[in-house]
Every structure is written in C-alpha cells, then in structure tokens.
Amino acid sequence: MQIRAAVLEEFGAPLAVQELELAEPKAGEVLVRLVACGVCHTDLYTASGADPSGYSPTVLGHEGAGVVERVGDGVTDVAPGDHVVTLFSPQCRECEHCRDHRTNLCLAIREQQNQGQLPDGTTRLSRDGEPIRHFMGTSTFAEYTVMPEIALAKIDPEAPLDRACLFACGLSTGLGAAMNTAKVASGSTCVVFGAGMVGLGAVAGCRLQGAERIVCVDLSEDRLALAIGQGATDTFVGGAGAVQQILDMTGGFGADYTFEATGNVNVMRQAVESARMGWGLATMCGVAGKGETLDIVPRFLITGRRVAGSSFGGVKGRDQVPQFVDMYLAGDIDVDAFVSHKLTLDEVNRGFELMEAQDGIRSVIDFA
C-alpha cells in the first residue's frame, strides 16, 4: 500500500514527508493505522546526528497510538479494531529478561531493531524498490506502520489516542523511573531535575508512590508551574547552586531519591551529589550526547549513594502501559496538561522547532 511518511534522508536536515510503499504484515506482525504520535526528543536526537547508533534513510517516530488494521499469521494478542500503543521497548514474555522482574530490556528482536529491521531481518518500508529502514522498530511518523506483535500494547478503547500516545515513551519513562526503577517509598523526599515530559512523569510517579516531598528543578518557570500540577510540593529554577539549595532544604543530607531527566551530564552529576548520604538513589533517565561522560567523585558513592539507569522506566510495555492508561482514565494521571500543540504530519519539523524552543511539553501529530 502507498503511505505518506516523514523520512530522515540525512542527519541535520529537515525530515521529508513523501510517499512510500508499505508491504503487508508477515507472520507475527501487525499493520497499524496511526491516529496520533508525539514528537519526542529521541526523534530529534537521531535526526540531528548526535545519536551514535543513528542511521538513514529511515522513517522516524516512536511515540505512537493507533488502530490495528490487519494481522499476520500467528498473531493472537491483538485483532483488527483493537486500539494500541506502540512500544520501542518490546516485551516477548519469553526471553530471559522478560521472565526476570529486574529488567524490561527484552532480548527477542534487539539486534534486528538496532539495525532498522523487523524480526526477519528485512523491512516493510521501501521507495522505488529500495528498502527504507524502520526506526526503533516503530516508524510512527507515518499514516500506517507494520510492527511486531510483541511491540504493541492493547489499551482500553475509551482512551483518547492523542493522549494515550504519550505512554509510548516519555510519560511511561518518567512514571516507571519512580515506580519501577527507584521504587520510591511512601513518605520520602524526592528531587526531579527537568520538567519536560519525562521529568513531569517522574513527578507524577513520585506522587503516586506516596512521596511526602517532591522538589522539581528546571530553568523554565512555566514548566515548574506544570510540575506543581503533577504533584510537586516545591520548585526552583536550577543552576550552579542547585545542589547546595537541595542540601539546605533537607537538613544538609540530601534527598532520598533524585531523578535526572535532562540528558545534561552536568545535571546528572548534580542529581548524584544531591542524593542523601547513607541511602540516596540517583536515577538517570536522560540520554546524553555522543561521547559525553558522567564524572562522579567516588566519595559520594562510598558514603552510601547509589546510581541507577532507567530505560523506558523499567516498564514491561505490554503488561504495564495498559495499566498506566487505565490510571489516566481513572483520573490518577493528568495527561491533558502535557499536550501543548497539535500538528499535521506535514508540520513534523515544526514539532522539532517547538521542542528546541522549549515551547510547551509535547507536540502531537494528529493523523485524523
């Protein structure tokens, strides 16, 4: 079938919206009609060339939600008409990692996914007979996409898809960092660095876990106001003195849990240094640039602080994303506040511009 999609032709250049050919789903695969897709920082990160694992030409996009149109042989968990959220982090439920509660990093199709291919080592996207690679196994900057069944979460059809799509990446990453990775304890003190999509999700996750004090740090007063709406009890504008300010707020000890959601290695260091001596846990959610490193003075670790990484918030997507969507429908998570701009597919590059200008939290492409 012919589809329109946003193609990354070369790094640093705008995406080109063009006609492509999309082949039918093969065994274990699903054809999804996209209804909505968030424009995420990871898409911009790859498009810019900063991602050392990036490739082109490819159809970007991974924060999608849509409706199942057709399924390939052997597909049992979803059927035509089902509403789904796309998962760049699949869950096969069978590999060693899927069967272990300690990680969500499914091993089933990792190698093929990293090469821009579907599980059989080929692509369903092409242009004039030449393959176009899939991005993160999803490629949701497109009217339709073909994906593995294990990379789709079936959700309640009552959930608006222009809200549900945010659970495909940013929102679930923040929620999961607090709820799965850090396992924030009730009555604790938390600090979240960064009030973008992931950071605001982390604030909400800390609230849902029963944290007593949630401090959010960002450079934008507007974003800090949104953090209060998600459950932050304290906010302040970040900078070089952020660590000392947190120590002053916590009797000189630091916070029980800190979360870094900016991708800035200097802020990552602040997250470590503002974690409480004795048991403080600093969770890293942000993606740093190519070649950047995090410097930690060993004394901070020797005196009891720990550092954890969190990919997609430790969320096992097929199981937990539907639960998050149900929490949204129940009123426990305010998703409406995150959708700042509605765009058409032809305006996808505008989404990148708004992100770079820090205008709003999330631009959502509406395919309706």
Q: Is 158 a catalytic residue?
A: no
Q: Is 98 a catalytic residue?
A: yes
| Nearest Cα to Cα of residue 82 among 74, 93, 70, 72 | 70
Which one of the listed residues 37, 41, 143, 283 is annotated catalytic?
41
Q: Is 86 a catalytic residue?
A: no
Which one of the listed residues 29, 37, 58, 63 is annotated catalytic?
63
CA 162 to CA 6: how far, in whole Å?
Answer: 19
Q: Is 221 a catalytic residue?
A: no
Q: Is 169 a catalytic residue?
A: yes
Q: Are strands 189-193 and 257-260 parallel, antiparallel or unpaired?
A: parallel
Which one of the listed residues 83, 163, 223, 362 is annotated catalytic?
362
| Nearest Cα to Cα of residue 340 among 319, 364, 323, 317 | 364
Q: Is 341 a catalytic residue?
A: no
3-state SS class at 339: strand
Which stretches of 115-235 are DSSP H helices? 161-164, 170-176, 197-208, 221-230
Q: Which two tokens stand for residue 123?
A: 């692509």
Q: Is 165 a catalytic residue?
A: no
Which one of the listed residues 92, 165, 190, 285 is annotated catalytic?
92
Q: Is 101 a catalytic residue?
A: no
Q: What count of other Cβ atoms lies within 10 Å of the Cβ of residue 327?
A: 16
Residue 42: which residues within 8 A CB-CB, separation 6 or more? 51, 62, 136, 169, 287
Which one of the listed residues 29, 37, 42, 149 is annotated catalytic?
42
Given a contact cutoff of 8 angstroms between Cβ atoms, the answer to whether 134 and 9 are in contact is: no
Which one of the listed residues 21, 95, 350, 353 is annotated catalytic?
95
Which one of the listed residues 37, 106, 165, 190 is annotated catalytic?
106
Which one of the listed residues 37, 46, 58, 62 is annotated catalytic?
62
Q: Is 216 a catalytic residue?
A: no
| Catalytic site positions | 40-42, 62-63, 92, 95, 98, 106, 110, 169, 362
